[in-house]
Amino acid sequence: MLAINCAAIHEGLLESELFGHEAGAFTGANKRHHGVFERANGGVLFLDEIGDMSMPVQAKLLRVLQDGQVCRLGSEKDLHVSVRLICATHKRLDKMAETDAFRRDLLFRISGVPIHLPPLRERADDIAWLAHRRVQTLNAKTGQSKRLDPRFVSCAKLQPWEGNVRELFSALDRAYHFASDCWVRWERFGMPCSNPGSSTFADRAHNVATPLGDYLARAEREYLTQVMSEREGKMAETAEVLGISRKTLWEKLRRHKIAT
């Protein structure tokens, strides 16, 4: 599988990168270059940000997809290629087609199996998994063994994440590298943990007269439930995050009647 970002390559070079060129095809073309369609022959080609592709390149791409043949720049010989194509874009190609900013026939050609990925704010349940995987990746790179504070995930689920996963990872990277101990905390990210439409158990408790013992028991139960959910019910990982033994965790879950 090969991947290319259509928005990251200058318009004048994208055609060469896709379809290749012969030596002498243009100034600076000192040797033959095999494009990604040739190199991906028999495999998969991922065109990221296809919505940023210029109209002339779109026309040539359409021909390749229709005929299964690619011609290098400066060559008169067509080469047969068999490639499974995956495209991605953050733009509305259907709207672009209505204004002739994207070829409608190309849109039909690449829309075999459309997959809509909702923004991160609409799939908050993915945040815990993404965040823990990111920390694992950073640990592998740095040789450290930092862990994600459960509060980070709770706060992250309240954010709009306009930049989606990239913004989430940026926040995690910042919190990770500024962590003064083994815990990656939300406070190190530098963003308030708030949502006008929600409140924590501690916030609600200030408004109700509650005996201290009852308050602590209810707070512990809520926290245990939250961590268990974020660790997908994995007892060993939950106990590690809480800093207690598995036996102690079992006893607390049984006392609070929390299903496992």
To the question of domain 121-255 being in CATH 1.10.287.130, the answer is no
Residue with tokens 């709207």, as numbered in its chain: 95
Q: Which helix (H) or strand (E) holds 85?
A: strand 84-88
pTM score, two decimals?
0.60
Q: 2-110 has which CATH code?
A: 3.40.50.300
CATH 1.10.8.60 domain locations along the chain: 121-255
Q: What is the DSSP letter of 25?
A: S
Q: Which helix (H) or strand (E) holds 203?
A: helix 201-205
User: What would the mean pLDDT of 243-260 be, rounded to a whole number?
Assistant: 85
Residue 253: the pLDDT is 87
User: What would the mean pLDDT of 54-77 be, rounded to a whole number?
Assistant: 89
| CA-CA-CA-CA dihedral for 62, 64, 68, 74, to nearest 10 | 160
Under the banding of pLDDT at 50, 70 and 90, the label for residue 190 is low
Do residues 52 and 101 touch, judged by C-beta distance below 8 A? no
What is the rounded CA–CA span in Å between residue 130 and residue 136?
Answer: 10
CATH 3.40.50.300 domain locations along the chain: 2-110
Residue 208 has pLDDT above 60, yes or no: no
